[in-house]
Amino acid sequence: MRLARRKALAAASAATLGAGALVGAALPALASAVGPESTYIVLAPQGRSTDKAAARIADAGGTVVANYTQIGVLVARSTNPAFETAVAGSGVDAVASTTGLGTALEDSTTVEAADVTAPQASGDPTGEPLFGLQWDMTQIDVPQAHAVTTGSSNVIVGVLDSGISSTHPDLATQIAKDKSASCLGGVVDTTEAAWNPTTSDHGTHVAGTIAAAINGVGVAGVAPGVKVASVKVVNDDGFIYPEAAVCGFLWAADHGMQITNNSYFIDPWEFNCRNDERQRPVWIAVQRAIRYSQNQGVLNVASAGNSNVDLQHKFVDSGSPNDGSYPVEDRTITGACLDLPAEAPGVVTVSATGPTRMKSYYSSYGQGVVDVTAPGGDTRFRNLGTPSTLSDAVLSTTFNTTTKTNGWGYKQGTSMAGPHAAGVAALALSAHPNLQPAALASWLERTAEALPCPSGVYNPVPKLVGFEATCTGGNRNGFYGAGEVNAYNAVQ
């Protein structure tokens, strides 16, 4: 899924506003015009009250639907076509429409139902009916880790994604329902139906990798003793909008989640450029939300992306925007452009490996960008690109959104690598509960198993075009960061 390349493969309250000062003599005329309703991110000066910004929104003919006073970010809706001009002034640092800034969640891999007609298993993860197909768990020493701990129920991992099936037999006991919510539109809805999946089972698959129960059914998660919370940020059309992502980070931070998993990027342009006038307010809002969550004790884990690009160096992005809002254009990506949230400061960025512990052909990479790597699957390496081998993808929990039935199936992507790292972080925090986010991130890196750079130009799929890559660095390098996460090392 591009919720991480375009994957795709990354608490608010409604406010009633009183009258505020008029922006100027021309404002009533601006506000009286009517167009289609649009959503806007409005930035107030950080560290100061949002009251002035809220008043200006009202005067410009808008309505505040979410007011994140913690970080000075408001989400507004308006039918005033001149809203961005009208709302500008004292108390507002910047404003941007989020129209066209929805990122498509891409479920590009095949999902195949798996046979679970096996005898009931014991508490040993290797006894789960489908564990023999989970090469990813043995690769990072999950069985050995479970002999030490399966994780603490006090640890909660927020899955910022497309929702989690609350009826799945491998997940029903694993979900912190009281901490789950939908953030669609930037507005919190805690009803169970709101945070369940509607059009994509990506979040259900991610959740299973993190915490599928050891219960004699299906698969085992990396940390089955911890809880996951569904924080839904993907709407029914399969898009992630900035206001939903900001809401998700704040909801997780304010509701006791110590870790979040983010397998997506924000903005239909895969790289958000802070020197772009339109994108800059979104970049600032997301940065504020991430910093706030970190200050509240949250470690954010994000997928590196599935574009096979070197995130360290500038290049030309020829595949954005991806949502049809604007013509696809070539943009030179420089250091001013970041893949959010993966490249935000303090976020643990995860690349993907396959069953050979080599970089997956699709995984993005970059010296100084990738922190660790983890199994994400690689269905192409066996046959040099084609045909694919489904069993080399990652097996986890699924939900058929058409028939509304639960199951188990395969997906691949850095979206699948991220939850392995998040699960290992959850095990580490269970074993070492005093670790703060920065220390936990450092521990994840220190306990990873270093993987060397392949020599020369790396291309495991020569039958396909455009997947060459060159690794730079030593024990810590652009393909794997500090190395592949290891569950057993992390709980020592």
Write out the catalytic residue numbers.
161, 202, 415
Q: How many degrees, rounded to 5, is the angle at CA 371 between CA 361 and CA 448?
A: 90
Query: Reduced to 3 states, what is the DSSP secondary structure of residue 375?
Result: strand
Neighbour count for residue 166 (Cβ, 10 Å):
19
Sequence letter at residue 379: T
Phi, psi torsion values for 178, nearest 5 degrees: -70, -10
Question: For the CA atoms of the chain, what is the radius of gyration?
Answer: 22
Sheet holding 62-68, edge to edge: 62-68, 73-78, 38-43, 94-97
Residue given tokens 């979206």 in the structure block: 415
User: How does DSSP assign 321-374, residue by residue?
Assistant: --SSSS--EEEEE-TTEE-TTTTSTT-EEEEEE-TTSSBPTT--B-TTT--EEE
Which candidate, 284, 429, 305, places its Cα nearest to that of 360?
A: 305
**Cα pseudo-dihedral 75, 81, 86, 91, rounded to 10:** 10
Residues ≥6 apart with Cβ < 8 Å to 445: 371, 372, 481, 482, 483
Record the tokens describing residue 372, joined without a space. 């660790």
| Percent helix, percent strand, percent coil in the chain, to nearest 5 | 25, 20, 55
Query: Reduced to 3 states, what is the DSSP secondary structure of residue 173?
Result: coil
Q: How many degrees, rounded to 5, is the angle at CA 174 between CA 172 and CA 176?
A: 100
Distance CA 346, CA 210 (A): 21
User: Is there a contact between 86 and 23 (Cβ–Cβ < 8 Å)?
Assistant: yes
Instruction: Determine how β-strand 259-262 pairs with β-strand 156-161.
Output: parallel
| Sign of the CA dihedral running 475, 480, 481, 483 | negative
